[in-house]
């Protein structure tokens, strides 16, 4: 059993996106679905090739910083402010496991760094799944938008009802 989807949205995803100035129902759905797909909403927090509920690997983590946040100092400062003071400097990838808001900010950065073309409708699960499929790095290349939708429905839609 992972994290309650409603609580993850209300206490991690939405506040993190608001803090970054990018809050939207589409991004909330995309990030919740990404967590459902990658870790079954937190059932696994350290997998072979990834850290935290978003299963972000070291290379992707570094790329978000080096190719995206480094060129937006204000946003980089906001993301760095979410990270812990000491642990981030010692072992930044562990922050993806121990700090849900930071992991959420980096997961958003994965999409934002590639200028992901987001759908306008947060209820268009097929379009959101296509964004995940196109922009999010996958260890298992056999995973498809259908897998994302299946996990979204299993861990989010069939869980506690998400109310905007």
87: tokens are 């642990």
pLDDT tens track for 77-133: 999 999 988 888 889 999 999 999 999 999 999 999 999 999 999 999 999 999 999
Distance CA 162, CA 146 (A): 21
Instruction: Write down the pTM of the prediction.
Output: 0.93
pLDDT tens track for 150-164: 999 999 986 544 544
132: tokens are 């995940």
Residue among 97, 100, 117, 84 at smallest CA distance from 32: 100
């Amino acid at each position: 059993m992972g994290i309650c989807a409603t609580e993850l949205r209300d206490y991690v995803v939405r506040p993190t996106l608001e803090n970054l100035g990018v809050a939207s129902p589409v991004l909330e759905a995309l990030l919740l679905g990404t967590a459902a797909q990658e870790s079954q909403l937190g059932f696994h927090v350290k997998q072979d090739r990834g850290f935290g509920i978003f299963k972000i690997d070291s290379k992707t983590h570094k790329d978000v910083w080096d190719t995206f946040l480094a060129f937006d100092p204000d946003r980089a400062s906001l993301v760095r402010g979410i990270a812990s003071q000491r642990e981030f400097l010692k072992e930044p990838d562990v922050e993806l496991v121990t700090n849900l808001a930071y992991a959420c900010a980096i997961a958003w950065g994965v999409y934002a760094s590639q200028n992901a073309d987001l759908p306008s409708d947060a209820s268009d699960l097929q379009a959101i799944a296509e964004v995940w499929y196109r922009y999010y790095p996958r260890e298992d290349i056999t995973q498809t938008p259908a897998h994302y939708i299946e996990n979204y429905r299993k861990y989010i839609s069939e869980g506690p009802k998400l109310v905007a």
